[in-house]
Amino acid sequence: MKRVAKPVFFIVALLILFLTFTATFGLKGKNGDNSTTYIKGVSDIRWGIDINGGVEATFSPATTTKATKEQIDSAKAIIELRLTSGNITDYELYTDYNNDRIIVRFPWKNGEKTFDPESAIQELSATSLLTFREGGDYTTTTTGSDGQPVYKTPKGTTATNIILQGSDIKNAKSQMTQDQTTGTSGYEVALELSDSGTTKFATATANLQGKVISIWMDDVRISAPTVDAVISDGKCVITGNFTATEASSLANKINAGALPFKLTTTNFSTVSPTLGKTSLYAMGVAGSIAFALICLFMLFVFRVPGIVAIIALLGQIALSFAAVSGYFPFVPSFTMTLPGIAGIILSIGMGVDANIITASRIKEELWAGKTLDGAIQKGDDNSFWAIFDGNITVIIVALILMGVFGPTNILSMIFGASTTGSIYSFGYTLLIGIIGNFVFGVTCTRLMTKSISGYKFARSKWLYGGAKE
């Protein structure tokens, strides 16, 4: 047998313990009042609405005619604006152009005392009120969830003097321009006004030349351009070093003010934060008991390979945590739901399969009269393909689960964007469990078993399931 150097056992075990510790608790530094997260731990996991409490709703236009893609985009832009200005983070927003649906899902804010899901949904889908106002004065400023300042509630003349309303706007679109002198290209928003709007705007721009006319959506200021010239033909542009996204976002918002339909809520579901907390706590308890049971079982039945299996299992669980928390910079964090946690617990049970297959084979070889080294070698060789085969089938299933319940994929192109995302993370944790099983249950286990069997104290065959010597 190719011997593995003795210290390898301790090196692998320490590495796994390090991974487990950091993946569980994360690494955080304190610099005065600011704590910086270097490595994300379990407390940084983004929980889904079934754990954090939250709202999921599907909005559709209240018309029988089909909405255009631009109209749906505008409606989406408004919902997005309301979410960010309401400082709601972690929201998910999908559109389904074929079926005229906008699906929004967001967790309940931390520390929110009153739980009023009905109003929260209504506020998001309320008919938007677009206004053009004199000046750009605001009462309060807060920071939105996208990090940008949010200017709220017009004040003074800005509050009283409304120049245009949503119905005065015919169309807004973003377009590319080229600076005449420098030749650099940029983006701007072109507005087209209705007849009534044209008259009103001509008067206002004549009075307010050089001053600000601000644009408001509901209670939030979305733009505050300065009037450069009198606009009498009902066509104007808003410039201001926009990027392509900024320009189209502003155009979408302005269009939403002139949407010909109201949004109705066709689907909604809500979960209270208390229920979610209870669920999370319960799953934590269940996971710990399951882990303890399996450790005891492996230890009593397989002895030394059992200890190895426990260390490998720790590594596998740590990998699952790491894969959802955003521990590795290249794996984005993942919204974790109850079925996702069930997936981790299930893979604790399935995860020892690789160890069980290998350890059983070693035991068989020992009873067949092989030497310890020979038995370990033979056990490893004989069991690899069985483990590999078994895992392939579960990988196929996990991928399909992710496909069906995931946000966007081939199936959702046929059947529309999905409303139920909680099973998605079950597929994901199942998949990670299998990958972890290969890394830890196969590779690390083999390294550790071979290296520990080099120690004198660990050379008794009994320790590997053989007969007492």
Cβ of 77: how many Cβ atoms within 10 Å?
23
With respect to other proteins, which residue has the nearer C-beta, 287 or 374?
287
With respect to other proteins, which residue has the nearer C-beta, 10 or 462?
462
With respect to other proteins, which residue has the nearer C-beta, 176 or 400?
400
CB of 306 closer than 8 Å to CB of 299: yes
Residue 82 C-beta: closest distance to other proteins, Å: 16
With respect to other proteins, which residue has the nearer C-beta, 189 or 304?
304
With respect to other proteins, which residue has the nearer C-beta, 258 or 430?
430
Distance CA 63, CA 265 (A): 13
Residue 225 C-beta: closest distance to other proteins, Å: 36
Residue 229 C-beta: closest distance to other proteins, Å: 46
Residue 112 C-beta: closest distance to other proteins, Å: 13
With respect to other proteins, which residue has the nearer C-beta, 54 or 154?
54
Residue 92 C-beta: closest distance to other proteins, Å: 17
Residue 368 C-beta: closest distance to other proteins, Å: 9
Residue 402 C-beta: closest distance to other proteins, Å: 10
With respect to other proteins, which residue has the nearer C-beta, 177 or 409?
409
Residue 226 C-beta: closest distance to other proteins, Å: 41
Residue 21 C-beta: closest distance to other proteins, Å: 23
With respect to other proteins, which residue has the nearer C-beta, 49 or 222?
49
With respect to other proteins, which residue has the nearer C-beta, 117 or 234?
117
